Structure 1
Amino acid sequence: MATIKDIARKCKVSTSTVSKALNGYRDIGEEKREEIKKAAIELGYLPLDGRKAEKSKKTYNIGVLFSTLFDYGLRNEYFAHILAAFKEKAAIKGYDITFIEHNMGKRRMSYLEHCRYRNFDGVFIVCADFAEAEVIELVNSLIPIVTIDQVFNEAISVLSDNYDGMRQLTQYIIDCGHKRIAYIHGNKSSVTHNRLVGFYNTMKENELSIPEEYLVEGIYRNAEVCEELAKHLIRLSGPPTCIIAPDDYAALGVMNCVRKMGLKVPEDISVAGYDGISVSQAIEPRLTTVKQDTDKIGSEAARQLINLIESPMMTSLDSVCLEVELIKGGTVKRI
């Protein structure tokens, strides 16, 4: 592991100069300070005692955890809007954002180590495997945390009203005359659970049964997987008249499946999505879906996190639930 002496040797300065530069002393020129910080990153320097975690002053820098393991990418419209709104709100309050990585120069570090190294005032977890040990370690730390679409007792969670959104969508499909409704739901999470409860309860309230084969686990924002799952549903001896996809991207996969099988949406089979992304309203027919206010999610997450950073004793670790909007497109047929 690199030491202050290694950095001093690389930059041809004294160890005291390195220490002052890394701790923000003003008697070190900006150019030299940046040179030393860059060298520290390249060498993978990390304070051995983790003392940066004990902050004496704010850095006005927020860490953003966005795992690329899910292949969503920053260009994904849902996350892009949330991140843009979060950044705008944080900037107004004087905060910068930095993405959290595993590698710091040649050294691999955990999410928590990176946060301590960067001395983040707080962390916004946008997309991650919430069952991963490193993520749980970060959430359980003393760093202020805000998450979206996942509830933790140790963090503030900002999410849409997934129960009510699925309840509205399911009731609309039933009101259109459908009784055989299949649901390709997402992988296990609090979001999936609440949507499933909304689906189950609405079907039960309308005295409609749910065949076991009509409930299929898919993958969020994966059109290819949902296309294959839809093919299986349509080929059942008693196929559904409507398929609800876990999200709009997945719904596009379901619609592709219908077309490839020589059928039409909604004449032969109806399709619904979730999220309300712009592309879902640009296709023909327009997708019936539930719109989440991504701009509101992002700005509210920033507001809550900054409140937690600046006024921790006046900010409770609660879940913030935002309203959703049913969009009645043209992909659900009236029977």
Structure 2
Amino acid sequence: MVADAAGVSLPTASKVLNGRADVSAATRARVAEVLREFGYVPQAGRRTVAPARVADLVFDDLRSTYSLEILRGVTEAGAEAGVDVVVSRPPASVESGPLTPEDTWAQRLRSGGREGLIVVTSELSLAQVESFARAGLPLVVIDPLNLPRVEVTSVGATNWSGGLAATEHLLGLGHRRIAYAGGPLEASCSQARLHGYRAALENAGCATDPELVLHGGFQYGDGLDMGTRLLALDMPPTAIFAGNDAAALGVMEAARRRGLRVPEDLSVVGFDDTVLAERSTPALTTVRQPLQDMGRVALRTLLRLAAGETLDSHHVELATNLVVRDSTARIPDQGGR
């Protein structure tokens, strides 16, 4: 009767009753709901071991403070929901291209009884997304490099308005030669921040100088390289908006090597507001992403998908805000470089 009401086979209902892990999260939730409706109570003396609920959290980079903040948010939400979080890397290295092999990875997760997976800042192929769907694995991505199709559920921040706010702050301090040292060109978040930067310049009547726009990566070394190139220009910028905090610190080091002071000679703005920002010297002005909240929302959204719920939107953006510290200052009235 329970199996019929839940629309599953008798063996599947039996697996749920006996705490077996090889049942999808959505099926297990449906059978559990029917059991509650029937007022099912386990027989006295019978040991029923509830299967552990597990979600996979996949990072392409586990070294950054950005990743640690996301991890903290996901695990805190998991603890509240009684869900264990397993942290892993994509099966294939980042250097070898998109996450592969698709079906092998999906089936491994499916056979392990996973609730689904959260993928952070990785490139996903359409084949991978389709393999997860075939395996019945809910998928949520955080700050994806790309979205193979619009139906993919994602969690991010208001990158465009963050880029706008960072650039408007520098414009308000009198800067007009403002550079953008962004992340990978193909990254959606980098593009959105670049568009916000351009919108602020356009609103202020300033043309975008192609020489002042560079794309690299989100690591310290990327910022150092881009900062070095920008400050070597015949007409170098007086301010640089970097793609994230780590890159901003690299820009600050490039300035130091040229004998420039931050913020007296060069203003620098980052993005993320990780622990690096407040501990740098000088403390970094940056755009705050609510990284822990993004992790919490991603885990809760994954559990809703696993329970078969319909979402109001496939994409959630949490608000950013500018945090002004000591790395930005008004451009000097006299002098210049």
Report the TM-score when normalising by structure 1. 0.76
Matched, 1:128 2:106: no
Q: Among residues 174, 179, 184, which one is paired with 1:177 in the alignment?
A: 174
Per-residue deviation, 1:127: 3.4
Matched, 1:80 2:73: no
Matched with 2:283 is 286
Q: Report 1:228-247 matches (<5 A).
A: 228-247=225-244
How has the CA–CA distance of structure 1 residues 137 and 98 changed in structure 2, closer, same or farther, with 3 Å as cutoff?
same
* Conserved? CA contact 2:110–2:135, under 8 Å: no
Matched with 1:66 is 59
What value does the CA root-mean-square deviation take over the aligned residues? 2.8
Q: Among residues 81, 94, 107, which one is paired with 1:93 in the alignment?
A: 81
Per-residue deviation, 1:279: 2.0
The AA in structure 2 aligned to 1:202 is A
Matched with 2:220 is 223
Matched with 2:94 is none
Q: Report 1:147-186 matches (<5 A).
A: 147-150=141-144, 151=147, 152-186=149-183
How has the CA–CA distance of structure 1 residues 278 and 136 changed in structure 2, closer, same or farther, with 3 Å as cutoff?
farther
Q: How far apart in 2 are the matches of 1:135 and 1:311?
A: 18
Matched with 2:190 is 192
Per-residue deviation, 1:171: 0.4
Matched with 1:57 is 28
Deviations 1:176-197 (A, max 9, x none): 0000011011111221121111
Per-residue deviation, 1:260: 1.1
* Conserved? CA contact 1:139–1:154, under 8 Å: no
* Conserved? CA contact 2:58–2:90, under 8 Å: no
Q: Report 1:240-259 matches (<5 A).
A: 240-259=237-256
Deviations 1:275-295 (A, max 9, x none): 111221122221111011112
Matched with 2:34 is none
Count residues with an aligned counterpart: 283
Per-residue deviation, 1:141: 5.6
Deviations 1:221-242 (A, max 9, x none): x111221221111111111111
* Conserved? CA contact 1:226–1:245, under 8 Å: yes
Structure 1 spans left out of the alignment, 5+ residues: 1-22, 28-32, 38-50
Matched, 1:266 2:254: no
Relative to structure 2, which stretch is displaced further, 136-145 or 80-89?
136-145
Q: How far apart in 2 are the matches of 1:102 and 1:77?
A: 19
* Conserved? CA contact 1:280–1:286, under 8 Å: yes
Per-residue deviation, 1:247: 0.4
How has the CA–CA distance of structure 1 residues 259 and 100 changed in structure 2, closer, same or farther, with 3 Å as cutoff?
closer
Matched with 1:318 is 314
Q: How far apart in 1 are the matches of 2:23 and 2:16?
A: 12
Paired-residue identity, %: 28
Q: How far apart in 1 are the matches of 2:89 and 2:16?
A: 23
Report the TM-score when normalising by structure 2. 0.76
Per-residue deviation, 1:102: 6.4
